[in-house]
Structure 1
């Protein structure tokens, strides 16, 4: 069986030859004479492997830059629409306008990244031929197809300075769909067989929601006047707290399957994300107290970068968990043993 505890070569790959038998007899003679140190193992230590060195699962074939970028930009767009609606309701045009433009730009780039990974636009359109409520990909495709025109309409009316009523309605409608746009990709990843994505199904949507809020707040802190950036500062703190808290809770619950998040490239990216997100939130609070525009820009840059590092780290950790048979075999055995009791 692929992923067996002991490789074929270590148990049944060859018959013992004369040299092996001679060595075994010599070992027994030494033990009879008192010179041995107990029985020596005849089989090498167990190691996870699979036939022909292939992984148990096929790793995701998604392009890292395209799909990790798609995850990040979709979150930035959805949360920015919420800030845009908030700025519009509280009469903060300096906050609402850049948030509308940011949402439109981010969702356009997100869709471009998705289509580039798919290979041609027709493949995205084919996903809209049916609506399947049990499929995160189907639901997400329909959410995106409804959200993108609304975000683009809100931005276009803002730039044109006309059709204000239409723009206000589009902004409000985009804000309604914004949370789904920001988090459905977490459900999409959790719905796969990739071990470290699938096991995070409970907390990953909250991690992505917090990351999206941090990113949108970061963009607003960079672009909005300090006098109107109060909602962005509060969103930065709340988003950072949700992201960091949910991610640590997820790793504690996942046990063995949290290992890929703490190894190699994912570890570097996720450690950087934690530092940037926490530091960005602290700077955001400080910028509000001191009314310092430079601190606000630094906070915004840190939050935007930290959110991107989180999405790329989660993506690469999932790929690593699919490549190692241990992360597929051990949890399966644990579940079987638990059910057997």
Structure 2
């Protein structure tokens, strides 16, 4: 048994009470907001590429996915805030040091661009303005797809905070996988090539980075393997990898395989976000995830002068 394991098993806090308050957010609101935002942002990137390469049906599918997903994302955020005016109040100031403030402004820029791009495509009006909006939505979409990683990492929740270095890559891969999966499911085979490649590439990045996150060696990373979070994340990997393999092997020749594989990848991406949410929630319930790392950092600082004296 390792020293760390022995310390954590023996650790207790005053009265066995949590040190951190458990997040009061609803999983459907926050994890749903994060997933739908990632899907929307990456779909706008896919739509901009389809627009540039002359794939009109893929372009329309991606644009409609983007506006639908960002609407769902904003609705989930507003529901969590309780009243719509609370979201508007966040736009009264711009704080570059606040991920929530920056994210609110990103959503405010991205939403109208995605909406204008989709409306122009569906209604056949203002084609030049619609294409310009599509490019703008693609650019802003890259921020929408990843800023939530900074948002959740910039908290006191141990599991999320400890994963701050890799979380943006996990979210970026997950967003690309979901957007590519939905695009592959909704588009004809002849136009769906970029969506299939996006789904496969995103699934590869998502899987590799989530493995790195879950096996970081941090004490709080063990919450990724336990309870509801562990179940959700294992199921996420099975769907993501299985769907990506299916698309790679048969997605080019079979619309059914492309659709089923794409939806599986998108479902895996959604479960990943819910699994990460549950892991973070679990890490606030056990005091060891806060106090043990604090004691280890204190011990390391106390050892530094002793090492310096020895070397001197």
Q: TM-score range by the shorter chain?
A: over 0.9
Q: What TM-score, normalized to structure 2?
A: 0.92
User: What is the distance in 2 between the residues matched to 1:147 and 1:254?
Assistant: 37
The C-alpha deviation readout for 1:180-205, integer Å capped at 9, x for no partner, is 10010010010000000000000000
Residue 85 of structure 2 is aligned with which of 85, 101, 122? 122
Equivalent position SS for 1:75 = helix
Equivalent position SS for 2:45 = helix
Is the contact made by 1:200 and 1:254 (CA closer than 8 Å) also made in structure 2?
no
Is the contact made by 1:280 and 1:299 (CA closer than 8 Å) also made in structure 2?
yes
1:17 corresponding residue in structure 2: none
CA deviation after TM superposition for structure 1 residue 93, in Å: 0.5
Is the contact made by 1:199 and 1:254 (CA closer than 8 Å) also made in structure 2?
no
User: What is the distance in 2 between the residues matched to 1:215 and 1:84?
Assistant: 14
User: What is the distance in 2 between the residues matched to 1:304 and 1:67?
Assistant: 17
Residue 130 of structure 2 is aligned with which of 167, 173, 185? 167
2:170 corresponding residue in structure 1: 207
CA deviation after TM superposition for structure 1 residue 149, in Å: 0.5
Equivalent position SS for 1:228 = coil
Q: What TM-score, normalized to structure 1?
A: 0.85
Equivalent position SS for 2:200 = helix
1:332 corresponding residue in structure 2: 294
User: What is the distance in 1 between the residues matched to 2:221 and 2:94?
Assistant: 34
1:189 corresponding residue in structure 2: 152
The C-alpha deviation readout for 1:299-319, integer Å capped at 9, x for no partner, is 111011101100000000000
Structure 1 gaps of 5+ residues are 1-44
1:296 corresponding residue in structure 2: 258
User: What is the distance in 2 between the residues matched to 1:287 and 1:293?
Assistant: 9
Residue 112 of structure 2 is aligned with which of 136, 149, 156? 149
Is the contact made by 2:232 and 2:275 (CA closer than 8 Å) also made in structure 1?
yes
User: What is the distance in 2 between the residues matched to 1:157 and 1:104?
Assistant: 12
Structure 1 segments of 4 or more deviating over 6 A? none
The C-alpha deviation readout for 1:136-187, integer Å capped at 9, x for no partner, is 1111010001000000111111111111111101100000011110010010
Is the contact made by 2:91 and 2:105 (CA closer than 8 Å) also made in structure 1?
yes
User: What is the distance in 1 between the residues matched to 2:203 and 2:150?
Assistant: 20
1:257 corresponding residue in structure 2: 220
User: What is the distance in 2 between the residues matched to 1:203 and 1:66?
Assistant: 23
User: What is the distance in 1 between the residues matched to 2:251 and 2:206?
Assistant: 21
Structure 2 gaps of 5+ residues are 1-7, 304-312
2:192 corresponding residue in structure 1: 229
Paired residues, what number? Answer: 296
1:243 corresponding residue in structure 2: 206
- Compare CA radii of gyration and give the structure with the larger one: 1
1:77 corresponding residue in structure 2: 40
User: What is the distance in 1 between the residues matched to 2:149 and 2:222?
Assistant: 19
The C-alpha deviation readout for 1:29-73, integer Å capped at 9, x for no partner, is xxxxxxxxxxxxxxxx97433334420001111111111100100
